[in-house]
A and B are shown apart, each in its own frame.
Chain A
Amino acid sequence: MSELLQLGSVNQRPQPPKREELTLRFSDAAVKELDALRTHYPEEKACVLPGLWIAQREYGGFLDGEALAEVAYRLDRSYAEVEGVATFYSMYNTAHRPGRHKIEVCTCLSCHVNGAYRVWDYLKSKLGVGHGETTADGEFMLEEVECLDACDRAPVIQVGDQYYGPVDDAYMDRLLDELRASPVNTVVQMADSIVAVQVTGPEREAAHR
């Protein structure tokens, strides 16, 4: 049924957030890191991608509307533009809130012919979720991804910073146990690593002092 019939009066359309209404969550360190990144490029717009990585870290691994709005506000871009950039790239978590760990299984060519789908089907049935879904305990999100370009270790998976491979069912059992036991949120950790490699050593230190 068309939304026209479902949505009530025209006055109920949600409005774009006003600047004064935004809750800004970037920590001081994040603001400093973004400021350092501004000096790397001749135009501020280039900070959108690194800015989204910072936001993904600051917002617990999920880029919801508020996260996107904050990036837009800080870089003086329109909300729609930042949402457009974030949803283009597969590593920004905009569609689904990830669990504490995002298990990305490569099923592309070399991995494919080396049994990647076996691993994928095993994980799906073990965790009870499908592509883009998170386990009920919030621990693991599962995603099928395209080539991770580490084909000599096929089949390869990525969890946070780390590539693992070649994996098989037993390997996955061990890895999942390790991840469950680890206190780290690897989704947030990966975002942090990615921010850290883009600011220089001295800039990073100054921001986190």
Chain B
Amino acid sequence: MGEYKLLLEHSHDPAYATLAGYQAKGGYAALKKALGMERQAIIDEVKASGLRGRGGAGFPTWIKWNGIPKDKKGKHYLICNADEGEPGTFKDKQLMETTPFLLIEGMTIAGFATQGDAGYIYIRGEFVDAAKALRKAIDEAYAAGLLGKNILGSGYDFDLYIHLGAGSYECGEESALMSSLMGERGMPRLKFPHVPLPTISGVWDRPTVINNVETYTCAPFIINNGGNWYASLGASTKNSRGTKIFSVSGHVNKPGNYEIEFGTSLMDLLEMAGGMKGGALKACVPGGSSVPIMNAQQCDGAIIGYEEMAEAGSMVGSGGCMFLNEHTCIVTFIWRTAQFYANESCGKCTPCREGTKWLLQIMERIRSGGGRSGDIELLQEVCSQIDGRSFCGLGDAAAWPVAGAIKVFRDEFEYFIEHGRSIVQSAESARMLPESPVVAVS
């Protein structure tokens, strides 16, 4: 347990982002090995590894790869979800900028295992540096016969394309990402059981694997060292295997990406990040803004693992871990969270479209001193009318922070409503609200 630099081992070496530098550190040995394996054997290694999706859902990766039809009747596609948008998360950014070949090799391995014809890396529009690094790397790979036709003489053809988003958090949702890739507004699509799974009918109605950047980058290590080896990491947890990069930010002294073995404690992670800055620990949002907020007491003793974090009252999520010190006004923090979801709601379904804006308006009113008795219950009810009723997970993700914060920090909300100001005097909470920059209507 503790810090374990598997993916990030060579992240600080600029040469690692070049083909020569990557190969010098053992890069592409895994692909060579995989191309000599049976496809099912590759998927079995991933199963043995216990790898779960690193984007936030934690879904067992082998099930997705295995779900692609074995008898191929047309094109198969792979998509890399590089639309890292979850607030607090910046691991994929670092992976793409500094270890692009891990992603490329990982996708090629996944492509081979699932008879994929082409892969698309959907990168959020803001991540130009990451896209540039990948562009260079992909061009090098093509030139060296590691992408394109007859890779390494194996007879396997695989194309890899880069596609940029244009500013929409919802496009990180896998079905909305598919819509956006196909040239539409980033609105989510129907899911199983209303329609077949993406592995049967995904992008352009073809079998599709969609995984997060970090998930794909684990593949070379699993192939090189075997699934069982990977599963030996994190063995102290119930069902969380391998390493996970946590993006630590907020009020810490050394914000950054820290790769830890599952089973590490949350407080150890905080220590790796240089400990609290400017005051004692008050709250933590461990896995991106969508997961329930924890207070200091809950943080104490919390172990990082999918099941373990749930027991502690929150989630691993994307691994975007924000630590907040005692001078943070939770009400103001939740107001800003509500603004984020209201701005990013795609508008497709009634509960999220109307509900996120209503939550924001209530939080604005409370922040401006207009809170009324009954507002807490109103917030909770609006949350319950969104949670589970929306078309996609963004609705749930918008409701959980508000409901969660009220559960854990109810006294702060009560104080703000009663006194018209925060229980904590911070620069943020004292700031008057001049206007609400909800997405402008022209």
Chain A residues packing against B (C-beta within 8 Å): 40-43, 45-50, 52-53, 75, 84-85, 87-92, 94-96, 107-110, 112-115, 117-118, 121, 130-132, 144-154, 158, 161-163, 190, 193-194, 196-198, 200-202
In the bound complex, do residue B93 and residue A150 qualify as a contact, i.e. CB atoms below 8 Å apart?
yes
Give me 19 other A-B pairs in contact (C-beta within 8 A), A109-B337, A115-B427 excluded: A42-B204, A49-B165, A84-B185, A88-B186, A89-B168, A89-B186, A90-B167, A112-B333, A118-B427, A121-B431, A131-B437, A146-B340, A147-B87, A149-B127, A151-B88, A151-B255, A193-B128, A196-B135, A198-B164
Q: Whole-angstrom distance between the alpha carbons of A162 and B97 in the complex?
A: 13
Q: Whole-angstrom distance between the alpha carbons of A48 and B165 in the complex?
A: 11
B241-285 residues at the A interface, CB under 8 angstroms = 247-251, 255-257, 285
B419-440 residues at the A interface, CB under 8 angstroms = 427-428, 431, 435, 437, 439-440
Q: For residue B338, give the distance in angstroms from its CB to the closest CB of chain A.
A: 11
In the bound complex, do residue B85 and residue A149 qualify as a contact, i.e. CB atoms below 8 Å apart?
yes
Q: For residue B100, give the distance in angstroms from its CB to the closest CB of chain A.
A: 12
B81-103 residues at the A interface, CB under 8 angstroms = 84-90, 93
B132 at the interface (CB under 8 A from A): yes
Q: Whole-angstrom distance between the alpha carbons of A45 and B178 in the complex?
A: 12
Q: Tell me the number of A-to-B contacts counted with CB atoms below 8 Å.
A: 188
Given A49-B164, A149-B84, A197-B131, A113-B324 contact (CB < 8 Å):
yes
In the bound complex, do residue B87 and residue A117 qualify as a contact, i.e. CB atoms below 8 Å apart?
no
Q: Provide the residues of chain B in CB contact with A45, threshold 8 Å.
A: 182-184
Residue of A nearest to B181 (CB): A46
Q: Whole-angstrom distance between the alpha carbons of A151 and B248 in the complex?
A: 8
Q: Whole-angstrom distance between the alpha carbons of A46 and B206 in the complex?
A: 15
Instruction: Pick the 8 closest A-B CB pairs, nearest first.
Output: A90-B167, A89-B166, A91-B167, A151-B249, A48-B183, A152-B255, A45-B183, A147-B87
In the bound complex, do residue B344 and residue A46 qualify as a contact, i.e. CB atoms below 8 Å apart?
no
Q: Whole-angstrom distance between the alpha carbons of A169 and B427 in the complex?
A: 16
Q: Provide the residues of chain A in CB contact with B439, threshold 8 Å.
A: 90
Q: Provide the residues of chain B in CB contact with A85, threshold 8 Å.
A: 183-185
Residue of B nearest to A152 (CB): B255
B162 at the interface (CB under 8 A from A): yes
- In-complex Cβ contact of B166 among A75, A91, A117, A163 (8 A): A91
In the bound complex, do residue B88 and residue A147 qualify as a contact, i.e. CB atoms below 8 Å apart?
yes
Q: Whole-angstrom distance between the alpha carbons of A91 and B168 in the complex?
A: 8
Q: Whole-angstrom distance between the alpha carbons of A200 and B337 in the complex?
A: 38
- In-complex Cβ contact of B129 among A95, A151, A161 (8 A): A161
Q: Whole-angstrom distance between the alpha carbons of A154 and B88 in the complex?
A: 10
Q: Provide the residues of chain A in CB contact with B431, threshold 8 Å.
A: 117, 121
In the bound complex, do residue B336 and residue A108 qualify as a contact, i.e. CB atoms below 8 Å apart?
yes
A-B contact pairs, 27 of them (CB 8 A): A41-B161, A43-B183, A75-B183, A85-B184, A87-B442, A88-B186, A90-B439, A91-B125, A95-B442, A109-B285, A110-B88, A130-B435, A146-B340, A146-B343, A147-B169, A149-B86, A149-B88, A149-B127, A150-B90, A151-B88, A151-B247, A151-B320, A152-B90, A196-B135, A197-B131, A200-B138, A201-B139
B221 at the interface (CB under 8 A from A): no
In the bound complex, do residue B324 and residue A89 qualify as a contact, i.e. CB atoms below 8 Å apart?
no
Q: For residue B149, give the distance in angstroms from its CB to the closest CB of chain A.
A: 14
Q: Whole-angstrom distance between the alpha carbons of A194 and B427 in the complex?
A: 37
Given A45-B182, A45-B183, A90-B166, A161-B427 contact (CB < 8 Å):
no
In the bound complex, do residue A113 and residue B250 qualify as a contact, i.e. CB atoms below 8 Å apart?
yes
In the bound complex, do residue A108 and residue B167 qualify as a contact, i.e. CB atoms below 8 Å apart?
no
B126-174 residues at the A interface, CB under 8 angstroms = 126-129, 131-132, 134-136, 138-139, 142, 161-169
Q: Provide the residues of chain A in CB contact with B340, threshold 8 Å.
A: 108-109, 146-147
In the bound complex, do residue A109 and residue B163 qualify as a contact, i.e. CB atoms below 8 Å apart?
no
Q: For residue A203, give the distance in angstroms from its CB to the closest CB of chain B.
A: 10
Residue of B nearest to A52 (CB): B166
Q: Provide the residues of chain A in CB contact with B180, threshold 8 Å.
A: 49
In the bound complex, do residue A151 and residue B87 qualify as a contact, i.e. CB atoms below 8 Å apart?
yes
In the bound complex, do residue B247 and residue A198 qualify as a contact, i.e. CB atoms below 8 Å apart?
no
A41, A50, A149, A202 interface centre (most CB from chain B within 10 Å): A149
Residue of A nearest to B248 (CB): A152
In the bound complex, do residue B257 and residue A158 qualify as a contact, i.e. CB atoms below 8 Å apart?
no
In the bound complex, do residue B333 and residue A109 qualify as a contact, i.e. CB atoms below 8 Å apart?
yes
Q: Whole-angstrom distance between the alpha carbons of A118 and B211 in the complex?
A: 37
In the bound complex, do residue A109 and residue B88 qualify as a contact, i.e. CB atoms below 8 Å apart?
yes
In the bound complex, do residue B87 and residue A108 qualify as a contact, i.e. CB atoms below 8 Å apart?
yes
A91, A110, A198 interface centre (most CB from chain B within 10 Å): A110
Q: Provide the residues of chain A in CB contact with B249, threshold 8 Å.
A: 110, 151-152, 154
Q: Provide the residues of chain B in CB contact with A114, threshold 8 Å.
A: 250-251
B328 at the interface (CB under 8 A from A): yes
Q: Whole-angstrom distance between the alpha carbons of A3 and B427 in the complex?
A: 44
In the bound complex, do residue A113 and residue B183 qualify as a contact, i.e. CB atoms below 8 Å apart?
no
Q: Provide the residues of chain B in CB contact with A90, threshold 8 Å.
A: 166-168, 439
Q: Whole-angstrom distance between the alpha carbons of A179 and B289 in the complex?
A: 33
B72 at the interface (CB under 8 A from A): no
Q: For residue A153, give the distance in angstroms from its CB to the closest CB of chain B.
A: 8
Q: Whole-angstrom distance between the alpha carbons of A145 and B166 in the complex?
A: 13
B398-432: CB near A (< 8 Å → 1, else 0) gives 00000000000000000000000000000110010
Residue of A nearest to B122 (CB): A49
B126, B165, B247, B320 interface centre (most CB from chain A within 10 Å): B126
Q: Provide the residues of chain B in CB contact with A193, threshold 8 Å.
A: 128, 131-132
Q: Provide the residues of chain A in CB contact with B43, threshold 8 Å.
A: none
Q: Whole-angstrom distance between the alpha carbons of A79 and B83 in the complex?
A: 27
Q: Provide the residues of chain B in CB contact with A113, threshold 8 Å.
A: 250-251, 322, 324, 328, 333, 428
Q: Provide the residues of chain B in CB contact with A194, threshold 8 Å.
A: 125, 128, 131, 164
Q: For residue B161, give the distance in angstroms from its CB to the closest CB of chain A.
A: 5
Q: Provide the residues of chain A in CB contact with B184, threshold 8 Å.
A: 45, 48, 85
In the bound complex, do residue A152 and residue B168 qualify as a contact, i.e. CB atoms below 8 Å apart?
no
In the bound complex, do residue B183 and residue A47 qualify as a contact, i.e. CB atoms below 8 Å apart?
yes
